[in-house]
């Protein structure tokens, strides 16, 4: 059965937005300040002794530095960020990865764990077998090790928790909605694991087994039906949080997951706009209740 509805019947998602409206929202070309003595930050430019906004976003001021944080932009990496990328090209002693940033990121052969966690210098034989480790289309979890002068990111997977990903679902959202935390690897109580990439790529998979061998061993066994339904529900809940502009982290994801079950929604129901609004409102109400209890 195909369900058809008018555009006027689709509910607005604004009611589930995060917090109050920003106090200083600007659009491109709008004057931020006419005063002198301020330093020009990202998203601004000077003209006729006035500071203008070059992007649409929220004005942020740190001492005398004024910048504009865009509402939607490409990912700008920082050293130590956890990212998820897709291999786009295999080059000499390196892989190129799409990490939702302006330029492709680089993963050097010397920056990955060899199978089994072996520690030694990389040889010509390792270079010839690079496609056995990673090839075009593979998904990889990694950490930002360095930032080149042109803004490209240098990644590494030297920790055993990083490496090739399999048996899961990739969800893409805005990098600004992924909350920065001490850990971006979570085993959720609902029976699944997530990796929250700072670049807006989120990986959902069955509970991760810690016994990895250099990040290249993949478990290709069939995933049980119950786990697939849990992963699908988590995927739709994350998309609902993203559409409602609610910060995405382990707590908000579990609030949305529990709310979808409490409201009696099936997995496919979470694709409907009105159900997305209900889940967003339930998550917002849960956060408001916590704030009231803490006060």
Q: Could you read off the pLDDT of 22-39 as tens digits, one per residue?
A: 458 888 999 998 888 888
| 250-262 helix and 273-294 helix, angle to the nearest 10 degrees | 120
- Residue 161: pLDDT band (50, 70, 90) is confident
Closest CA to 16 of 231, 177, 141, 154: 177
Q: Could you read off the pLDDT of 88-106 as tens digits, one per residue?
A: 999 988 999 999 998 999 9
Domains of the chain: 24-70 (2.40.50.100)
What average pLDDT score do residues 206-229 get? 73
Q: Residue 60's pLDDT is what?
A: 86
Closest CA to 148 of 226, 253, 76: 76
Q: Could you read off the pLDDT of 74-88 as tens digits, one per residue?
A: 888 889 999 999 999
- Residue 211: pLDDT band (50, 70, 90) is low
Looking at the predicted structure, is the pLDDT value of residue 21 above 60? no
């Amino acid at each position: 059965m195909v369900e058809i509805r008018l555009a006027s019947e689709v509910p607005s998602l604004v009611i589930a937005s995060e917090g109050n409206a920003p106090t200083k929202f600007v659009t491109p070309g709008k004057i931020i300040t006419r005063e002198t003595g301020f330093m020009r930050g990202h998203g601004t430019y000077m003209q006729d002794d006035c500071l203008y906004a070059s992007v649409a976003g929220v004005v942020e001021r740190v001492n005398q530095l004024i910048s504009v944080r865009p509402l939607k932009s490409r990912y700008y990496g920082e050293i130590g960020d956890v990212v998820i990328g897709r291999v786009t090209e295999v080059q000499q002693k390196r892989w190129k990865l799409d990490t939702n940033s302006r330029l492709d990121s680089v993963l050097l052969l010397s920056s990955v764990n060899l199978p089994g966690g072996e520690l030694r210098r990389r040889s010509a034989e390792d270079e010839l077998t690079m496609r056995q480790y990673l090839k075009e289309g593979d998904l990889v979890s990694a950490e930002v090790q360095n930032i080149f002068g042109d803004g490209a990111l240098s990644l590494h997977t030297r920790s055993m928790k990083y490496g090739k990903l399999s048996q899961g679902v990739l969800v893409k959202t805005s990098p600004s909605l992924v909350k920065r935390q001490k850990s971006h690897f979570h085993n959720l109580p609902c029976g699944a694991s997530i990796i929250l990439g700072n670049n807006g790529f989120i990986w959902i998979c069955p509970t991760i087994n810690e016994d990895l061998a250099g990040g290249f061993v993949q478990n290709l066994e069939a995933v049980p039906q119950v786990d697939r339904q849990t992963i699908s529900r988590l995927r739709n809940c994350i998309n609902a949080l993203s559409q409602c502009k609610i910060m995405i982290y382990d707590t908000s994801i579990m609030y949305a997951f529990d709310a979808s079950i409490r409201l009696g929604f099936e997995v496919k129901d979470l694709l409907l706009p009105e159900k997305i609004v209900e889940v967003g409102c339930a998550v917002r109400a849960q956060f408001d209740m916590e704030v009231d209890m803490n006060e």
